[in-house]
Amino acid sequence: MYDFTFHRPTTVRQAAGLLARNPEAKLLAGGHSLLPVMKQRLAQPSALIDLSLIDGLDTIEQKGRAVVIGAMARHADVAKSPVVIAAMPGLASVPGSVGDPQVRNRGTIGGSIANNDPNADYPAAVLGLGATIITNKRRIAADDFFQGMYTTALEDGEIIVKVSFPVAKKAAYEKFKHPASGFALVGVFVSKRGSDIRVAVTGAGSNGVFRVKSFEEALKKRFAAKSLEGMSIPATGMNADIHASAEYRAHLVGVLARRAVAKATA
């Protein structure tokens, strides 16, 4: 790890100010992606701006027909939140499937989606529920937020404050874990909120999380696993590495989508 300065602001405004004054600074949310690359000297931020002392950034609450989760809410807290479990157990299962207990007790939703790792779990839930990302500057729809691996709509100096998930009547996440890292080799989040049906896939695509329109169309006729029978997606555009071929990932998208729908309708 190279030397850096460490800031601990107590308001979002202070954090934004520090970010503006330190263009090479990084926000520290959970640190489970950032710190390992810093330890390997693959990242050299001039400063870390720790968000953990900012009050009210980790609240989890139901607001009308939405579950609103603060950016600094830890995975473990969201996974066991009575609010989230009551509203959408399928959403609670997403942070519950992340990494290991150590990661879940440090990692945050804001950190996860701001990083937009192509194998991370949260992007599937955010896109799969059509959530809204609320920053210190504006509100961004999930469909506009994720812009390819490790790339988001966030602008310089913009800080995620919370994420608002509309409550879907049916929602579920199915994940096939990467055997070594525990990330999603493929993860599929499905939801049905009135006529809004979403199928979002993480881990599989070479450009990050994406929606499967053909599956969504099929599910619009009837939201049942049977509607997806025999359906798959083309292997082009899928990740391929030593752990899974593009064909296998494409195949898993179909399998996991069916299982997620079955779980959502169980």
Partner 1 sequence: MSATGIGAAVRRKEDIRFITGKGQYTDDVIRPGETRAVFVRSPHARAKIKRIDTAAAKAMPGVVGVLTGAELAADKVGGLICGWMIHSKDGSPMKMAPHPALAAETVNHVGDAVAVVIAETQAQARDAAEKVKVDYELLPAVSDPAKAKNGPQIHGVAPKNTIYEWSLGDAKAVDSAFAAAKHVTKLDIVNNRLVPNAIEPRAALAEYDSGTDQLTLWNTSQNPHVARLVISAFVGIAPEHKLRVIAPDVGGGFGSKIFIYPEEVVCLWAARKVKRPVKWTAERHESFVTDAHGRDHITHAELALDEHGKILGLRAKTIANLGAYMSTFSSSVPTYLYATLLSGQYDIPQIYCEVDAVYTNTVPVDAYRGAGRPEATFVVERLVEVAAREMGIDPADIRKRNFIKAFPHQTPVIMAYDAGDYNASLKKAMDLADVKGFNKRKRESARHGKLRGLGYSTYIEACGIAPSQAVGSLGAGVGLWESAEVRVNPTGSVEVLTGSHAHGQGHETTFAQLVSERLGIPFENVSIVHGDTDKVQFGMGTYGSRSGAVGMSAIVKALDKVEAKAKKVAAHMLEAAEGDIEFKDGKFTVAGTDKSAAFGDVALNAYIAHKFSGQELEPGLKETSFYDPTNFTFPAGCHICEVEVDTETGKTEIVNWTAVDDFGTVINPMIVEGQVHGGIAQGVGQALLEGVVYDKDGQLVTGSLMDYTMPRAHDLPSFKVGTTETKSPSNPLGIKGCGEAGAIAAPAAVINAITDAIGSEALTMPATANTVWTALQRAKPRAAA
Q: Which residues contact partner 1 by CB under 8 A?
A: 1, 40-41, 176, 179-181, 242-245, 248, 251-252, 255
163 CB-contact burial (10 Å; exposed 0-12 / middle 13-18 / buried 19+): buried
Cβ 176 to partner 1 shortest distance, Å: 6
Nearer of residues 69 and 98 to partner 1, judged by Cβ? 98
Token pair listed for 220: 């619009």
27 within 8 A of 160, measured Cβ to Cβ: no
Cβ 102 to partner 1 shortest distance, Å: 13
Cβ 144 to partner 1 shortest distance, Å: 30
Q: Where are the alpha helices (DSSP H) in the chain?
A: 12-21, 34-39, 75-79, 82-87, 89-96, 101-104, 109-115, 122-128, 142-145, 213-221, 246-264
Cβ 100 to partner 1 shortest distance, Å: 9
Nearer of residues 43 and 255 to partner 1, judged by Cβ? 255
Residue 161: in which H helix or E strand, if any? Answer: strand 160-166
Nearer of residues 1 and 86 to partner 1, judged by Cβ? 1
Pairing of strands 196-202, 139-141: unpaired
Nearer of residues 145 and 173 to partner 1, judged by Cβ? 173
